[in-house]
């Protein structure tokens, strides 16, 4: 079997940033106390590690550390916000490219609370114009707008900063799982009400960890309540942040791993990493665009997309083609609907889905060339 070429970064980063595994191992060996639950050296070391990483993450994402929260994942924070901010009978607007981490809780609230969920079609491919979103919020009373910063299917990046300003005072919740770490973003300058991301994709950290950024003046009722290590005399949740939203023992080893990833990203420079991935996508798009029988989906200029290439091949089942690429060329891509059926309906690729190649900052030009060569070889074999 060929050496693995990993092109499924949009699902999870691999390899993780250099130093992540070592940082997690070091934490378990030297700092693995329960933060806030005691004054001994290990508990203190764990608490310091968490706050150091919180400050680093806040610095990268342009948010005050006291308004950045850790949790079990991006899906957790999306559920917390949707359940906490949407009233019975309320109205929410979403883009046509949302992931099921948004759509499934919304459909549940639609049934349970009588919530009205309106999908904004936007331009072909799902791009949203801020003025279009503004008109939709003004047409009838709107409680919330939810938009994926970048599509996990096509890579399309939405102008969330401009949309947030256009729709004010209606709050904008942004699912940043595909954009954070893939392109620069300054939360406190954006007018976005809440920004959610995972640690294991563009931030190159471990799984099982999500980040929530809340704008100044925004509040959120906790989805979970429990121990925090603070105010233990009370059976009510403390009101002070971050404890109010961080019940239970935190994933401190994951946070330690994220800290190493953030340190590596800072050393490389986020803009440099973003340009590197974009250049690979440009090469792949250009060469695949010349391959007969292969269709690219959701094309946008590279400055309007993250490093994702979605395509189908005429006469090929995407799942079978993905298995062939893995087996014969060592290429790891993802086929199907990518947990985003709404996005595929928008792109016209539902129900079959697409094959998706997504490039991380550690991908190489040789990886891109192998993908193109493999697809060309597959099509040439079919026509012999």
pLDDT digits (tens, 9 = 90+) for 289-301: 989 999 999 888 8
- Neighbouring C-alpha atoms within 13 Å toward the C-beta of 192: 28
pLDDT band at 128 (very low <50, low <70, confident <90, very high): very high
Task: State the CATH number of the domain containing residue 317.
Answer: 3.90.1150.10
Whether pLDDT at 107 is above 80:
yes
Q: 211 and 308 share a domain?
A: no
Domain boundary among 243, 268, 293: 268
Instruction: Indicate whether 372 pLDDT > 90.
Output: yes
pLDDT at 302: 76
Q: Which one is predicted more confidently, 16 or 232? A: 16
Tell whether 47 and 127 lie within a shared domain.
Answer: yes
Whether residue 237 lies inside any domain: the answer is: yes
Dist CA 330 CA 324 (whole Å): 9
Name which residue leads in pLDDT, 181 or 39.
181
> Do 294 and 258 lie in a common domain?
no
Give the pLDDT of residue 165.
98
State residue 384's pLDDT score: 59
- The model's pLDDT over 339-361, given as tens digits with 9 standing for 90+, comes to 999 999 999 999 999 999 999 99
CA nearest to 189, candidates 169, 160, 213, 161: 161
Is residue 72, in this structure, part of any structural domain at all?
yes
| Residues 8, 343: Cα–Cα separation, whole Å | 18
CB within 8 Å of 310: residues ≥ 6 apart: 153, 154, 155, 296, 297, 298, 347, 349, 354, 355, 356
> Angle of helix 365-382 relative to helix 270-288, nearest 10 degrees?
20
d(CA 58, CA 186): 9
State the average pLDDT over residues 200-204.
Answer: 98
Residues 61 and 135 in one domain: yes
> Which of residues 250, 268, 286 is at a domain's end?
268
Single out the residue in 268, 303, 333 at which a domain terminates: 268
- 236: Cβ–Cβ under 8 A, 6 or more apart, which residues? none
Q: Is 291 in the same domain as 303?
A: yes
Q: How many domains does the chain have?
A: 2
In this structure, the answer to whether residues 287 and 243 fall within a common structural domain is: no
Residues 123 and 233 in one domain: yes
Question: Is there a domain that residue 2 lies in?
Answer: no
- Average the pLDDT over 142-167 and give the result: 98
Handedness of CA 268, 272, 275, 276 (dihedral sign): negative
> Residue 244 belongs to what domain range?
20-268
């Amino acid at each position: 079997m060929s050496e693995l070429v990993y092109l499924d970064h949009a699902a999870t980063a691999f390899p993780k940033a250099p130093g992540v595994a070592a940082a997690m191992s070091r934490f378990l060996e030297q700092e693995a106390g329960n933060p806030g639950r005691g004054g001994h050296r290990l508990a203190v070391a764990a608490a310091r590690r968490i706050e150091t990483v919180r400050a680093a993450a806040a610095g990268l994402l342009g948010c005050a550390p006291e308004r950045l929260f850790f949790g079990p994942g991006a899906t957790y924070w999306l559920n917390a916000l949707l359940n906490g901010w949407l009233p019975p009978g309320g109205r929410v607007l979403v883009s046509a490219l949302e992931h099921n981490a948004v759509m499934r809780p919304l459909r549940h609230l639609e049934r349970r609370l009588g919530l009205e969920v309106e999908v904004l079609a936007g331009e072909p491919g799902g791009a949203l114009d801020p003025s279009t979103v503004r008109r939709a919020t003004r047409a009838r009373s709107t409680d919330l707008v939810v938009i994926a910063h970048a599509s996990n299917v096509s890579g399309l990046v939405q102008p969330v900063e401009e949309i947030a300003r256009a729709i004010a005072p209606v709050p904008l919740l942004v699912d940043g799982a595909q954009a954070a770490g893939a392109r620069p973003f300054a939360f406190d300058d954006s007018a976005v009400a809440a920004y959610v991301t995972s640690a294991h994709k563009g931030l190159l950290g471990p799984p099982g960890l999500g980040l929530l950024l809340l704008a100044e003046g925004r509040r959120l009722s906790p989805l979970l309540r429990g121990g925090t290590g603070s105010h233990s005399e009370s059976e009510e949740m403390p009101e002070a942040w971050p404890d109010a939203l961080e019940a239970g023992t935190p994933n401190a080893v994951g946070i330690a791993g994220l800290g190493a990833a953030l340190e590596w990203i800072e050393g490389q420079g986020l803009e440099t990493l973003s340009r590197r991935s974009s250049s690979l996508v440009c090469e792949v798009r250009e060469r695949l665009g010349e391959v007969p029988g292969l269709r690219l989906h959701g094309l946008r200029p590279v400055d309007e997309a993250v490093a994702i290439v979605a395509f189908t091949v005429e006469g090929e089942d995407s799942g079978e083609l993905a298995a062939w690429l893995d087996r014969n060329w060592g290429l790891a891509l993802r086929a199907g609907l990518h947990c985003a059926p709404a996005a595929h309906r928008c792109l016209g690729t539902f129900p079959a889905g697409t094959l998706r190649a997504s490039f991380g900052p550690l991908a190489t030009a040789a990886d891109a060339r192998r993908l193109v060569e493999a697809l060309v070889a597959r099509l040439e074999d079919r026509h012999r």
